[in-house]
């Protein structure tokens, strides 16, 4: 019976931000420039780092990886959203939706891990500057990126395999502008108890440990800054991690707001606004 229901599913309907046809051009004009800035800006970062030998350092290695992930992250969501806005067609096929969920989880998770690794890099650079090149050697940097990809690949695959047995009504409406796991589980017509448990556990494990690592890194950085007597040294240290700290605050703050909105308050508007911040604004 479940196999029959799954085979009958042709598409989902992404409700998006508004049904008003007059509002669609304004939404298109808003998101298209933001997407272009995100892609072109991050692409320029990658080209600059790869072409300038002076930037072949651990910090810029992680930054170029983050730029690549952000390009893929926003490209997983925004092009389909722009097509739907332009054509005023909210349809997304079952396969497209699951594909979007899978790659969204991968790239969102990689953002999470890379921000954590970059916090550790800042910690070593500020707290152990004389040992920086020894600790942050190329082997360690490559291993940290590899293990991040490895862990998040299997995490996303686990969630995808748990979605496949679920059943959905034909033309199910998803109260979001892209296919994300929490709103997708909300509209399933079969029991999602196992999916919810796995989601909570993996979110706790893959969320708490990175956030704890970031807090530890910055607590040590603040402690080192307090011991510095030179204002110039403090300014240089702050410039090293200031932009990273802003991005961490924006990314984790808005992603947590989206997760709580869909999971506990079931507020689709609050969840969508938070999603825009960390899927479109943060990559910019």
Average pLDDT over the chain, rounded to an integer: 85
Q: What is the pLDDT of residues 75-88, one digit of tens each?
A: 999 999 999 888 88
| 96 vs 12: CA distance, rounded Å | 9
Show the beta-strand stretches assigned E in the chain.
11-14, 91-93, 172-174
- Structure confidence at residue 111 as a pLDDT band (50, 70, 90): very high
Query: Domain tally for the chain?
Result: 1
Q: What is the pLDDT of residues 125-171, one digit of tens each?
A: 888 888 998 999 999 999 999 999 999 999 999 999 999 999 888 77
What range defines the domain where residue 168 resides? Answer: 2-281
Determine contact, residues 40/198, Cβ cutoff 8 Å.
no
Determine contact, residues 118/66, Cβ cutoff 8 Å.
yes
Residue 186: which CATH number? 1.20.1070.10
* Nearest CA among 166, 10, 161, 195 for reference residue 94: 10
Rounded to two decimals, the pTM is: 0.87
**Lateral strand order in the sheet of 11-14:** 91-93, 11-14, 172-174
**pLDDT at residue 261 in the model:** 61
């Amino acid at each position: 019976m479940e196999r029959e229901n799954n085979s009958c599913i042709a598409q989902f309907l992404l409700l998006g931000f508004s049904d008003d046809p007059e509002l669609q051009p304004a939404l298109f004009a808003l998101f298209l420039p933001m997407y272009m800035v995100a892609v072109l800006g991050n692409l320029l970062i990658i080209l600059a780092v790869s072409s300038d030998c002076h930037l072949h350092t651990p910090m810029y290695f992680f930054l170029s990886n983050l730029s690549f992930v952000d390009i893929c992250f926003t490209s997983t969501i925004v092009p389909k959203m722009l097509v739907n806005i332009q054509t005023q067609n909210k349809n997304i096929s079952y396969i497209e939706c699951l594909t979007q969920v899978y790659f969204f989880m991968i790239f969102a998770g990689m953002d999470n891990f890379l921000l954590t690794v970059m916090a550790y890099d800042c910690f070593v650079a500020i707290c152990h500057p004389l040992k920086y090149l020894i600790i942050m050697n190329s082997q360690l940097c490559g291993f940290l990126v590899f293990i991040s990809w490895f862990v998040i690949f299997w995490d996303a695959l686990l969630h995808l395999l748990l979605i496949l047995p679920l059943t959905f009504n034909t033309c199910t409406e998803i109260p979001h502008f892209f296919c994300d796991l929490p709103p997708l589980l909300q509209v399933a017509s079969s029991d999602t108890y196992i999916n919810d448990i796995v989601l909570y556990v993996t979110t706790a494990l893959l969320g708490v440990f990175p956030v704890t690592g970031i807090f530890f890194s910055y607590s040590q950085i603040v402690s080192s800054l307090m011991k510095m007597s030179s204002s110039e040294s403090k300014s240089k240290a702050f410039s090293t991690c200031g932009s990273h700290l802003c991005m961490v605050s924006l990314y984790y703050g808005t992603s947590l707001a989206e997760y709580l909105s869909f999971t506990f308050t079931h507020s689709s508007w609050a969840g969508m606004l938070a999603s825009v911040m960390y899927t479109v604004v943060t990559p910019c």
